[in-house]
Amino acid sequence: MRLDGAIGRVRLVGAGPGAADLLTVRAVRAIEGAQALLYDALIADEVLALAPVACLKVQTGKRAGQASMAQSTINRLMLRLARRGLDVVRLKGGDPSIFGRVGEEREFLRANGVEVEVVPGVTAACAAAAQFGFPLTHRGEARRVLISTATLAGGTLADAGWAGAADPQTTLALYMGRDQVRGIADQLIRHGRPAATPAVAVENAGRPDAHGIASTLGELATALDAARPTGPVVLLIGDVAARADIAAVADAVVPCRRAQA
């Protein structure tokens, strides 16, 4: 806590896809120095354990389809804690700038005179590709990556923007689309993406319990219905998905522990 009465700062930190050893060094340092930690529901216990014992920890929810703290409440809480002179970390899954509402939070805090720093993190699409052994771009197969969400506020399926996603040279990474897969496939096929396009759904990307489901665009909904995933799912659609090694074991995903003096 700042003793001179100065307002504290807020760091909007990306926790990556889950495993603590995928945190950036800057993110680890921010968590270790936090006096107040506001964290999303999916943040792993091993990541939370990096915070000081005396750190005030508040779970803010923010899990799709479940009750969570309102964004306006989170904003006011960050401001209140910063005005108490605390160093505040707002810890978000993945990267804060990708569907993390970082723009809203940063604008609110800066408008109220609070210093804000954004710390990037590994996003789920990158973690999924690395864990299951396929590239997001590949010479002759994918020249670009399109990261998108298929749903609008309230969980309804978007009705525009599908033409660009149908480009065969694009790897499409869809977030928050687990419950809309059938509609997603219908839209993409309608706009020219072949039903036989390889597709992979990855549940809990980057975690030891990650689960990959290989299919095609036309059959992905049926495959997901059979698998019945309950965790966060990222959908990767494009020719590169055929290279996925679904049997890959994430041996490199190990708990992150503090160095012993």
| Structure confidence by residue, pLDDT tens digits, 116-164 | 999 999 999 999 999 999 999 999 999 999 999 877 666 677 777 788 8
Query: What pLDDT does 17 receive?
Result: 93
Catalytic residue among 40, 78, 92, 95: 40
The residue among 191, 30, 10 whose CA lies nearest residue 106 is: 10
Say whether both 232 and 208 belong to one domain. Answer: yes
Domain boundary among 97, 119, 141: 119
Task: Share the mean pLDDT of the chain.
Answer: 89
Q: What is the enclosing helix (H) or strand (E) of 10?
A: strand 9-14
83-111 pLDDT, tens digit each: 999 999 999 999 999 999 999 999 999 99
Say whether both 68 and 154 belong to one domain. Answer: no
Range of the domain at 55: 9-119
Structural domain count, the chain: 2
Q: At 1, is the pLDDT very low, low, confident or very high (cuts 50, 70, 90)?
A: low
Query: What pLDDT does 212 receive?
Result: 96
Say whether both 207 and 108 belong to one domain. Answer: no
109, part of any domain: yes
- Tell me, yes or no, if 245 is annotated catalytic: no
The Cα 246–Cα 216 span in angstroms is: 14
166-195 pLDDT, tens digit each: 899 999 999 988 888 999 999 999 999 999
The Cα 102–Cα 129 span in angstroms is: 24
Catalytic residue among 62, 78, 87, 92: 62
The residue among 49, 81, 44 whose CA lies nearest residue 232 is: 44
Say whether both 104 and 204 belong to one domain. Answer: no
- Tell me, yes or no, if 62 is annotated catalytic: yes
For residue 249, pLDDT over 60 is answered with: no
Query: What pLDDT does 158 receive?
Result: 73
The Cα 123–Cα 174 span in angstroms is: 12
Query: What pLDDT does 163 receive?
Result: 85
Query: What pLDDT does 129 receive?
Result: 97
Q: At 258, is the pLDDT very low, low, confident or very high (cuts 50, 70, 90)?
A: very low
For residue 113, pLDDT over 90 is answered with: yes
Give the list of residues 6+ apart from residue 253 with CB closer than 8 angstroms, or none: 19, 21, 131, 206, 207, 208, 210
Catalytic residue among 87, 92, 95, 176: 176
Write the CATH number for 76.
3.40.1010.10
Say whether both 143 and 211 belong to one domain. Answer: yes
Q: How many CB atoms lie within 10 A of CB 134?
A: 23
Percent of the chain with pLDDT over 70: 89
Say whether both 135 and 98 belong to one domain. Answer: no
For residue 68, pLDDT over 80 is answered with: no
For residue 260, pLDDT over 50 is answered with: no
Say whether both 137 and 107 belong to one domain. Answer: no
The Cα 150–Cα 114 span in angstroms is: 33
34, part of any domain: yes
105, part of any domain: yes
Write the CATH number for 219.
3.30.950.10
The residue among 122, 114, 125 whose CA lies nearest residue 92 is: 122
Query: What pLDDT does 261 receive?
Result: 33
230, part of any domain: yes
Q: Which amino acid is at 153?
A: A
Q: Which amino acid is at 246?
A: I
14 contacts 92 by C-beta, under 8 angstroms: yes
The three-state DSSP-derived secondary structure of 89-119 is EEEECECCCCCCCHHHHHHHHHHCCCEEEEE
Domain boundary among 67, 93, 119: 119
Query: What pLDDT does 42 receive?
Result: 87
Say whether both 183 and 72 belong to one domain. Answer: no
130, part of any domain: yes
